[in-house]
Structure 1
């Protein structure tokens, strides 16, 4: 099935979509470092990047009419920077907001389905109107904003059109939901809002994938059965005290039916500690110790035996106090590039281009590959059922 990937970045969503069986006819991003990462992995023959037609440049100037044939899926993570929702602010003129370009792609390509993702912050109450605005534009992409029209007026027209029950023109059935990547086996508590839509004429009914992993199952395996510690060969004296987690586990009546959340230890168990074992760590690509980690209130690192906290990009690289590992003895250090890639479920043979801070920015902006794959597989299965 043919796809178009927008705002690809380091490729988390795009790789997941590719692993689900979609073949892109165009992959685009404006960021030079991210495109260099993709080009390097393409040259190295990394699947599925090796087949990607990569376009570096501003998506606002991309001509979708040059794509021949039908497109089954458009996907991507359009940047959507915070801005004031009050007054007569015309959000569509904000150069940082790329949702209008995602909607343009849907309007011009008329794919059978789309997948777009963004940060959970988009669902904050202060953005409620704009979130609904995005939803309605994706539902009726042909009802485009007029020249010089303010976005609030456009929202009113969309609402009128929607309540009128219009059935003509290009329409999509759109669902949105905040998903926690840890609930799907990713070793990171990372919440993203996803929009999935199917063209109305397909008649497809769809829901987001059911949660497969849980915190309670992890707590059971750690503090009730002990299977977790046995698996990792952690002696009693080397285990954390458990605290509130252990107390919660003791209140569980039955063994949870879902799989346990994956932890940082699960993700990096075979990687030598780059600070304590630098020579052994050197044999792993992008696995070098980065000094300077410091802990302060609210930024205490990710415990080894829990899913990682959300990896963050920061405006100028790694933000202070974030993206750190906290060992069971309380000591901390930054995650390496390789460890961060593991936490984002990128393939081990993928390399990243740029400095440490630049690479961590790419990783901090990415969608976990496994989460993207799971959602995209669900979309593909519905599209295949139409054939």
Structure 2
């Protein structure tokens, strides 16, 4: 199935949608380091990005009319800074707010479905009206704002018109807030997804069920199976999650930093000849509020951090209390990027790409679910068309 991606960053969502069977044709991204990552892997023959057209620059300036009709999916993660808890929270008043631009691309390409991702901060009560506006804007991409119309006025008009509008391009939008750790990602990463299906696509979709849980990790640490698997000395066997070890169905244990880094050698200043981007970054230190991610729990959410990351999200905290920075490869493991995928640029820029990325595993799970529903809708539509043709032939010969 054909897809196009906006705000691609270093490629997390791109890789996940490819793994789910979508063939991304165009990716748009303004950051040159991210574009270099995509091009370097493409030109190096990495199969999941082979043949992609990397459009470097403002997504609003891409000539989308050159993309042939029939796109199945538009995916993307608009910049999160307007809604991030670490930002100023200016939402629509932040020039980096790209939700209107996203809706414009959807209007032009008319995909059968879309997957749009952003930070949990977007669901804060301070943004409740804008959160609702985004859903209506994505659901009715042809109801564009008038010249000089504020988003608030546009929102009021969308509220008044969306129940009676007869536009031929409408989407059923399903927003869902999820924790990536609940889907096997070794990281506590809360994100909101907007999944949309075009109104003519018969898809009864719901977000995939969680597969992992904190309770299952606590149970594995309490019964010792987690520690035995990793050969952790008994003096360091301290449970890391506060939840009770309840039986909660077929859930697997949350994956921890130790799980993610298994098999990687300790990093050195000279790097590794076997693993890409696995070079020790010196200088890490711990202080109150800046303690890093504990090795026997899912990592804190990696952050891009223009001025650093205040919680030490880019640091590993070991059982003896020592800390060090994650290597780029270790951070890539936490974001479930493949080991053969190279992140371009110095440590700060590579970590920024990873901090902005969608975990590949979560992207694949969501995209695969969307694709399965598109496949079923395609099959049902073909079946109905065949039935209608038979009825027409029978009526013509009666």
Matched, 1:231 2:229: yes
2:266 corresponding residue in structure 1:
273
In 2 relative to 1, CA 282–382 (structure 1 residues): closer, same or farther, beyond 3 Å? same
Matched, 1:152 2:145: no
From 253, 258, 262, the equivalent of 1:260 is 253
In 2 relative to 1, CA 268–117 (structure 1 residues): closer, same or farther, beyond 3 Å? same
1:173 corresponding residue in structure 2:
172
1:34 corresponding residue in structure 2:
34
SS of 2:172's partner is strand
SS of 2:40's partner is helix
Q: Post-superposition shift, 1:350?
A: 0.8
Matched, 1:200 2:196: no
2:341 corresponding residue in structure 1:
350
In 2 relative to 1, CA 255–68 (structure 1 residues): closer, same or farther, beyond 3 Å? closer
Q: Post-superposition shift, 1:232?
A: 1.2
1:112-191 → structure 2 map (5 Å cutoff): 112-162=112-162, 164-191=163-190
**Equivalents in 2 of 1:265, 1:298: separation in Å?**
22
SS of 1:202's partner is coil
**Deviation string, structure 1 residues 242-268 (Cα, Å, up to 9, x no partner):** 3774x833xx3x475211111111111
1:87 corresponding residue in structure 2:
none
In 2 relative to 1, CA 2–173 (structure 1 residues): closer, same or farther, beyond 3 Å? same
1:47-66 → structure 2 map (5 Å cutoff): 47-66=47-66
Query: Does the aligned pair in 2 maintain the 1:4–1:73 contact within 8 Å?
Result: yes
1:75 corresponding residue in structure 2:
75
Q: Post-superposition shift, 1:289?
A: 1.2
**Equivalents in 2 of 1:371, 1:153: separation in Å?**
36
Q: Post-superposition shift, 1:294?
A: 1.7
SS of 1:4's partner is strand
| Structure 2 portions without partners, runs of 5+ | 84-89, 379-398
**Equivalents in 1 of 2:298, 2:291: separation in Å?**
14
1:286 corresponding residue in structure 2:
277
Alignment size in residue pairs = 372
In 2 relative to 1, CA 288–70 (structure 1 residues): closer, same or farther, beyond 3 Å? same
Q: Post-superposition shift, 1:282?
A: 5.4
**Equivalents in 2 of 1:171, 1:241: separation in Å?**
52
1:335 corresponding residue in structure 2:
326
**Deviation string, structure 1 residues 282-313 (Cα, Å, up to 9, x no partner):** 54321111112122222211111111110111
Q: Post-superposition shift, 1:317?
A: 5.5
In 2 relative to 1, CA 257–102 (structure 1 residues): closer, same or farther, beyond 3 Å? same
1:248 corresponding residue in structure 2:
244
Query: Does the aligned pair in 2 maintain the 1:13–1:366 contact within 8 Å?
Result: yes
* CA RMSD, Structure 1 to Structure 2 (Å): 2.0
**Equivalents in 2 of 1:255, 1:151: separation in Å?**
44
**Equivalents in 2 of 1:315, 1:255: separation in Å?**
39
In 2 relative to 1, CA 39–330 (structure 1 residues): closer, same or farther, beyond 3 Å? same
2:87 corresponding residue in structure 1:
none
| Structure 1 portions without partners, runs of 5+ | 84-89
Q: Post-superposition shift, 1:21?
A: 0.5
In 2 relative to 1, CA 255–227 (structure 1 residues): closer, same or farther, beyond 3 Å? farther
Query: Does the aligned pair in 1 maintain the 2:178–2:191 contact within 8 Å?
Result: yes
Query: Does the aligned pair in 2 maintain the 1:72–1:113 contact within 8 Å?
Result: yes
**Equivalents in 1 of 2:102, 2:5: separation in Å?**
10
TM-score normalized by structure 1? 0.91
**Equivalents in 1 of 2:331, 2:309: separation in Å?**
12
**Equivalents in 1 of 2:234, 2:308: separation in Å?**
38
* Greater alpha carbon shift after TM alignment, 315-324 vs 374-383: 315-324
Query: Does the aligned pair in 2 maintain the 1:24–1:52 contact within 8 Å?
Result: yes
**Deviation string, structure 1 residues 328-368 (Cα, Å, up to 9, x no partner):** 11111111000000000001011111111011100100000
2:213 corresponding residue in structure 1:
214
1:86 corresponding residue in structure 2:
none
**Equivalents in 1 of 2:51, 2:220: separation in Å?**
41
